Amino acid sequence: MSQPTLDELFERRLIYPDFEFKERLDRLVGLDGYKLRLTKMLGLLVNSKHLRDWATQYHPNAGRLVSLVATRPPLVILAGDVGSGKTELAETIGDAVARQENIDLTLFPLSLSTRGQGRVGEMTQLISAAFDHTVAEATKLKGHSGKTRGGIILLIDEADALAQSREAAQMHHEDRAGVNALIRGVNRLANGSLPAAVIMCTNRLGALDPAVRRRAADILEFNRPDEVQRRTVLKGALHDAGFSVHDLDALVTATGPTTKHGYGFTFSDLTQRLLPAIVLDAYPHTAIHAKRAIEIAKHMSPTPPFKEMSHE
């Protein structure tokens, strides 16, 4: 098997900063805490100079503490329910990091075809090749003065497909080897102090190999939007369409947990299903009416939660 090319390994390459990604990130309302935390974390992972500058100013004698923070494996895991916004956040957060650090960032989204066709050794070679490219690109950006000239983010969506627990009794040897290759890749980035980070997204945090979870500098767990978050999403879209506070209250209730469903709407249920349905119901012959919008919400079933499969 020949060495895979960049185009074969990665679905596309995204460059930040970019106004389109800034707009997409801004549209992720209700996730401000996640945005801030992830921007800070990735900023430290791809450019530790600012951490050392901060320590010099505020804690000049805390070298060991700073070293522990700076040398963590450059891995962040975004875990949570379907439609919770984690993949969209992973694809757009690079814009905020690039602006914060004043550098260019490149996102390499790992192609799902990297799982290979099942031939012995193929997945391991593909994962290793993905990290080879990531290391090579990040090495070009490593500055001699300590300040990076740019950064790389490797995005692995549906990470449980590549990093499932090696403790599973039915796990094939080739899958175990693939997990080992992934762990070696993360360690290479850490040991080289390269301006690169890995983001893994998964619906099944419990399915990830424990060694992968232990290496994560941070694990952000995403839940379905609560009342405050649902109100933020709905108000931002419908207030200017004439919805009153009372209307929004009713819509927030209609999109929350019910006796029929013990779970409420996901972020994507709100933005990709409900709001378009409200618009299309009225278009093109009538205006949007709150009463009708609430009826639509009550008759729409939220996406069921993703159920963890037992590894017993």
The CATH number linked to 185 is 3.40.50.300
**What is the span of the domain harbouring residue 250?**
227-299
CA–CA distance, 199 with 159 (Å, rounded to integer): 9
Under DSSP, is residue 12 helix (H, G, I), strand (E, B) or coil? coil
CA–CA distance, 190 with 223 (Å, rounded to integer): 30
pLDDT of residue 81: 86
Reading the block at residue 263, the tokens are 């779970």
Quick one: 68 and 107 in the same domain?
A: yes
Quick one: 118 and 173 in the same domain?
A: yes
CA–CA distance, 224 with 229 (Å, rounded to integer): 9
Quick one: 161 and 131 in the same domain?
A: yes
Domains identified in the chain, total number: 2
Quick one: 271 and 126 in the same domain?
A: no
Q: Is the dihedral of CA 293, 223, 13, 39 positive or negative?
A: positive
pLDDT of residue 173: 65
| Burial status of residue 302 (CB atoms within 10 A of its CB: 0-12, 13-18, 19 or more) | buried
pLDDT of residue 312: 41
Q: Is residue 173 part of a domain?
A: yes
Quick one: 149 and 217 in the same domain?
A: yes
Quick one: 104 and 215 in the same domain?
A: yes
Residue 256 has what DSSP assignment? S
pLDDT of residue 260: 86
Asked which of 176, 195, 222 is the last residue of a domain, the reply is: 222
Instruction: Per-residue pLDDT tens, the chain, 312 aa: give them.
Output: 567 777 778 878 999 999 999 999 998 888 999 999 999 999 999 988 889 899 999 999 999 999 888 888 999 999 998 888 999 999 999 999 999 999 999 999 987 665 555 554 677 888 899 999 999 999 999 876 667 889 999 999 988 877 876 666 556 666 688 889 999 999 999 998 899 999 999 998 988 999 999 999 999 999 999 999 999 999 999 999 999 999 999 999 999 999 888 999 999 999 999 999 999 999 999 999 999 999 999 999 999 987 755 444
Quick one: 34 and 78 in the same domain?
A: yes
